[in-house]
């Protein structure tokens, strides 16, 4: 049984087609990153998945059921970017209140540990920082032990250390064979923490695979070196180079043939090249190539 199944799903707002014939299947136990630029149809797809919107055409099933049925059975947990917490309640009171709404919730101590909230159990919601409030929203999302966890920009407002702790907790939760779908603008999170990456643009899937597969499909390499005030004239004419960026004294060349580019850089220019680095395409390069408007 598929955890998520979209079959020819479209959603229109008047004359605007936000999602266009989406076909998608996610196996139970996968952790999937959903990427897309603003206006790509990502949020609309998530809202239909959660039963908050009905598709104009097509069918959506969660664990073999309609989204509203899966939600009513507590099989989906969702963490959104915002949402008011009851300010007068402590973290412990709030999490315990929500978990008691479900038929088979996780234990309070387990939820607090997974969300890294044990030390904040007595703090009132009104006194939480933005990152701490996000961790509480994560705790509320997993309180009912959902089989499918949907996270929308889960690490927004978190500092670096909080992000690391969050992903450690998410991996612990997913390790029990649960399915996780998360949308993020932090591409390094998608690269590091997903089994699969799906890229949406213009309401359609434009890439679907592991992060490594998507990066390999983007092709190209990056050549970087310190420029230190030297003229960048002629860099765009080097063999293989498709783009040149100069920032903070560093030149970045996008090239399809790094060997030819570097050879010409040393032999065909008078530049003093220092700290030369050659890297393959990263997920950001692939994302920009896939979602760039023609």
Give, in words, the CATH class of 2-209.
alpha beta
Question: What percent of the chain stands above pLDDT 70?
Answer: 98
**Mean of the pLDDT values across residues 23-28?**
96
What pLDDT score was predicted for residue 251? 92
**Mean of the pLDDT values across residues 169-196?**
93
Measured CA to CA, the distance from residue 280 to residue 223 in angstroms comes to: 9
Beta strands in the chain (DSSP E): 2-13, 16-27, 31-35, 57-62, 76-79, 148-152, 179-183, 196-201, 204-209, 221-226, 241-247, 250-255, 274-280
What pLDDT score was predicted for residue 285? 79
What are the domain boundaries of the chain?
2-209, 217-291
Average pLDDT, the chain: 92
What pLDDT score was predicted for residue 294? 52
Kindly report which listed range (57-71, 98-112, 251-265) carries the lowest average pLDDT score: 251-265
Q: What is the DSSP letter of 128?
A: -
**Mean of the pLDDT values across residues 46-68?**
96
Q: Domain 217-291 carries which CATH code?
A: 3.30.70.980
Measured CA to CA, the distance from residue 290 to residue 110 in angstroms comes to: 40
Q: How many CB atoms lie within 10 A of CB 145?
A: 21
**Mean of the pLDDT values across residues 187-204?**
95
What pLDDT score was predicted for residue 232? 84
> On the CB side of 280, how many CA atoms lie within 13 Å of its CA?
9
Q: What is the DSSP letter of 121?
A: T
What pLDDT score was predicted for residue 293? 61
């Amino acid at each position: 049984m598929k955890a998520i199944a979209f079959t020819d799903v479209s959603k229109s707002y008047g004359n605007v087609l936000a999602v266009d014939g989406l076909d998608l299947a996610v196996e139970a136990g996968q952790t999937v990153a959903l990427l897309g630029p603003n206006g790509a149809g990502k949020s609309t797809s998530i809202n239909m998945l959660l039963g908050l919107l009905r598709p104009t055409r097509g069918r959506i099933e969660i664990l073999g059921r309609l989204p509203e049925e899966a939600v009513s059975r507590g099989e989906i947990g969702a963490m959104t970017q915002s949402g008011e917490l009851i300010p007068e309640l402590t973290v412990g009171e709030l999490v315990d209140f929500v978990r008691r709404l479900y038929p088979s919730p996780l234990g309070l101590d387990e939820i607090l540990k997974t969300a890294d909230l044990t030390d904040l159990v007595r703090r009132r919601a009104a006194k939480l920082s933005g990152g701490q409030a996000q961790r509480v929203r994560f705790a509320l999302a997993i309180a009912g032990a959902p089989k499918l966890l949907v996270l929308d920009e889960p690490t927004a407002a978190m500092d670096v250390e909080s992000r690391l702790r969050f992903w450690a907790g998410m991996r612990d939760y997913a390790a029990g064979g649960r399915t996780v779908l998360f949308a993020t603008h932090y591409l390094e999170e998608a690269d590091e923490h997903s089994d699969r990456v799906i890229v949406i643009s213009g309401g359609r899937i434009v890439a679907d695979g592991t992060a490594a597969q998507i990066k390999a499909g983007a092709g190209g390499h990056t050549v970087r070196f310190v420029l230190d005030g030297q003229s960048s004239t002629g860099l765009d004419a080097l063999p293989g180079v498709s783009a040149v960026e100069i920032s903070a004294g560093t030149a970045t060349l996008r090239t399809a043939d790094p060997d030819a580019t570097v050879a010409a850089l040393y032999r065909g220019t008078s530049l003093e090249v220092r700290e030369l680095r050659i890297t393959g395409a990263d997920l950001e390069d692939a994302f920009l190539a896939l979602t760039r408007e023609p």
